Homo-oligomer: A and B are copies of this chain.
Amino acid sequence: MTKGRLEAFSDGVLAIIITIMVLELRIPEGENFSDLKPLAFKFLSYLFSFIYIGIYWNNHHHLFQAVKHVNGKVLWANLHLLFWLSILPFATSWLGENHFTKNPAALYGFILLMCALAFNILQKFCLDLEGKDSVIAKALQSTLKEKLSALIYVSGIVLSFFLPLIAVGMYYVAAIFWVIPDLRIEKNLK
């Protein structure tokens, strides 16, 4: 089975997710810049979720550059990832609306954790299909990055109940690891 439609469908869903979040930025009643102030938290949470979806699109792109075939398991693992990513606009909106307070911060971290988990499952299924000598197998020998970010998400979720702003800060630290495109795959593709 070819991977073309899996990529096209994923691109479509990710494009929609990244764009519908902006619909939550409702225009204010007044016409002054000061009327935009209450939107600051919403804008910030939109910005960070935009970056996160960008990261996932980027990693998805890198992963499927190294993958040649897909099967039913990969298709469903991909849908599973898209499901958790599709919940991100909801969590983003709740976080922004409530100015980064504890429960929304914990939920946001939980969704990020589930996305990370779903991406790992997808990577694993791709690896199973490609075999031990494939580009992707060599690229993913070290999964330090995956483990470290999972650890940060779990710590962040726990911390949300005490210091939610710090917790949200931690999620963004985890993002930095991933903004850098997956050099392991790029290196092994060469």
User: Smallest distance from the beta carbon of A119 to chain B beta carbons, Å?
Assistant: 17
Contacts of A79 in B (CB 8 A): 50, 54, 57-58
User: Smallest distance from the beta carbon of A21 to chain B beta carbons, Å?
Assistant: 8
| Closest partner residue, chain B, to A101 (CB atom) | B31
Please report the total number of A residues contacting B with Cβ < 8 Å.
58
In the complex, whether A61 has a CB less than 8 A from a CB of chain B is: yes
* Complex Cα gap A28–B104 (Å): 11
Copies of chain A in the complex:
4
In the complex, whether A144 has a CB less than 8 A from a CB of chain B is: no
* Complex Cα gap A83–B54 (Å): 10
User: Smallest distance from the beta carbon of A97 to chain B beta carbons, Å?
Assistant: 6
| Closest partner residue, chain B, to A105 (CB atom) | B31
* Residue in contact with A19 in the complex, picked from B13, B27, B181, CB distance below 8 Å: B13
Q: Are A103 and B33 in contact (CB under 8 A)?
A: yes
Contacts of A57 in B (CB 8 A): 9, 79
Q: Are A93 and B27 in contact (CB under 8 A)?
A: yes
Give A51-69 as 1s and 0s: 1 = Cβ < 8 Å from B's Cβ atoms: 0001001100100010000
Q: Are A31 and B98 in contact (CB under 8 A)?
A: yes
Chain A residues within CB distance 8 Å of chain B? 1-2, 5-9, 11-20, 22-23, 25, 27-28, 31-33, 36, 47, 50, 54, 57-58, 61, 65, 71-72, 75-76, 79, 82-83, 86-87, 89-90, 93-94, 97-98, 101-104, 107, 179-181, 186, 189
